[in-house]
Amino acid sequence: MVEAEAEEGADHLARHTNTVIEAKDLVKTYGTGDTKVDALKGVSLNIKEGEFVAIMGPSGSGKSTLMHLLGCLDQSTSGTYKLDGSTIKDLNDNDLARIRNEKIGFIFQQFNLLPRTSSLENVMLPFTYTGHANKNARKQAEETLRSVGLGKHFYKRPSELSGGEQQRVAISRAMINNPSIILADEPTGALDTKTGIEVLNIFQKLNKEGKTIILITHERDIAAFAKRRIHLRDGLVESDSAKKKKEIIEST
């Protein structure tokens, strides 16, 4: 199953045809009247399957808001957003939850693993909400954990794992449902430089296998691992550039 996916991913990587994210003139406004804040003032961007994109910007630039919109945790005030072909507009909470479950894998700065719960069960958590039984859940979770080098830590709890290991469990959890995009919000923010780089190397490896990864960060060093970098400033896209191979830090 995983091999099949990898092949499929590689295929897409080669062609780069499917557009996973199509955002046009996204505007997000919070509050009303005097307290009105325009967090996003019209952001347009397309991301194709198999891309590795870093979204950068100082705090207040709107990158968190953009991540929430892309991650279907919130909906835009105006503009259109298509994820994997389906338009995200006027959906209720349940529909958004279903889309998050099926199409998006989240990775957070603080890992957000369930305490007192084994790595395996943490990884299987998204299956809990898919609504149909999955006989291979355990097997898939084991394989995913193995693929990030945690083959020996199936039954360890988060408190028994290092930060880097916890983040790798979180990465496994994000991948388990084979989502259309993986959204990583400052994934190395709570890690030291060395483990941070290890985590970024995992992202690169996953990307090579065909996964679409969107990395939200304010650090240039981190963004350097991505193939394409989008800078936001004051709720608008300031620059959007694909990097040449030599500009990308490659894992060894």
Among 117, 134, 178, 201, binds other proteins (CB under 8 A): 117
Among the candidate windows 52-60, 103-111, 158-166, 208-216, which touches other proteins by CB under 8 A?
A: 103-111
3-state secondary structure 120-184: HHHHHHHHHCCCCCCCCHHHHHHHHHHHCCCCCCCCCCHHHCCHHHHHHHHHHHHHCCCCCEEEE
Among 110, 136, 162, 241, binds other proteins (CB under 8 A): 110
Minimum Å gap between C-beta 64 and other proteins is 9
Asked whether the beta carbons of 115 and 160 are under 8 A apart, the reply is: no
CA distance 219 to 222: 5
Nearer to other proteins, 144 or 204 (CB): 144
Minimum Å gap between C-beta 251 and other proteins is 27
For other proteins, what does the binding mask look like between residues 8 and 37, x meaning CB under 8 A?
------------------------------
For other proteins, what does the binding mask look like between residues 37 and 76, x meaning CB under 8 A?
-------------------------------x--x-xx--
CA distance 134 to 174: 17
Binding flag, residue 114, other proteins (CB under 8 A): yes
Site for other proteins in 136-175 (CB under 8 A): 173
Instruction: Kindly give the pairing relationship between strand 19-30 and strand 37-48.
Output: antiparallel
> Which residue reads 């835009």 in tokens?
76
Binding flag, residue 239, other proteins (CB under 8 A): no
3-state secondary structure of 225: coil
Minimum Å gap between C-beta 146 and other proteins is 21
Element (H, E) at 194: helix 193-208
> Which residue reads 């969107």 in tokens?
214
- Kindly list the residues in this chain that would bind other proteins in the complex (CB under 8 A): 68, 71, 73-74, 93-94, 97-98, 100-102, 106, 108, 110, 112, 114-117, 125-126, 128-130, 133, 173
